[in-house]
Each structure stands twice: as C-alpha cells, then as structure tokens.
Amino acid sequence: MIGFANHWSWGSTSYETQKLLMNNVGDRVLASTATESPMFRQVVTVDDATGELIVKVVNAQPAPAPTTVELGREVAPAARVTRSQGDPAVVNTPDSQPIRPAEATFDCAAATFTCTFPPNSVTFLRIRPTQP
C-alpha cells in the first residue's frame, strides 16, 4: 500500500483511503439508513472526545449522488470535509499521486441538509452538534 523508491515514498489509493478511515473511526455507531443504490454506503459515528458526528459516505457509482442527510439533531453550520475521489482505474505512482485526500469546509450543515457526493468518492463530514 506504500510504494518506495531510493529516496521517495508514496501512498497508493488504497493506503490513502485506509488512512482516512483510521483517522475518522469514531467511538459509537449511530443508526443510519440510505436509500441510494447498492454502490452507495454510509455510516455515522460519534467521536466522544470532540462530540463530533462523523458521517462517512462511499459513492462507488460513476455518477454524482445528490443526497438528503437527516441528522436528527441541531448542528453547527460549518463542517470539516475530507474527500478522496477519482477514476478507479487511476493509480498513484512515484511520479504522480492524482488520488489524494482534500480538505475543505462545508457551511451548509443542519439537522437536515442536502449534499452531492461526487462519483467514485469517499467523503468524511465532521459535524459538531450544538448540544452535547
């Protein structure tokens, strides 16, 4: 999962995804459902140390997936987003690492909100509830 050359190392796409999963585990799993296709999966966990909800979504479809997210509680509007996406046939090499996680801020979090998950992506939303 990690490639090595004389003075260089790089993470494969699998390594980058596993690293994201490891850094966004959470302590408790919350009940969640998805009505998308079988190539769309989600899990919601709580990070007890920060109180954040961690919404993890895999969209393995070749098309974007507009999705309504219902959290069932009030949350702060700003969420941290970490996403990795790209053509499944593309691989990271010593000369090019096109599949790398990117971080951003999502300013539309709410008890219910809509988010479009890009094709061939894994997305992590870290959302703070307004009440502990």
Supply the CATH number for residue 59's domain: 2.60.40.1180
Which domain does 113 fall in, by range? 2-129
Position 36 scores a pLDDT of 62
pLDDT at 45 over 90: yes
The residues, ordered by sequence, that sit 6+ positions from 79 with a Cβ below 8 Å of its Cβ are 105, 106, 107, 109, 125, 126, 127, 128
User: In one letter, which amino acid is 90?
Assistant: V
DSSP letter, residue 46: E
pLDDT digits (tens, 9 = 90+) for 90-132: 888 878 888 889 999 999 899 999 999 999 999 999 999 997 6
pLDDT digits (tens, 9 = 90+) for 68-84: 899 989 999 999 999 99
Query: Contact 9/2 with Cβ under 8 angstroms?
Result: yes
Position 7 scores a pLDDT of 62
The pTM score is: 0.87
Position 2 scores a pLDDT of 65
- SS3 of 19, please? helix
| Domains: count for the chain | 1
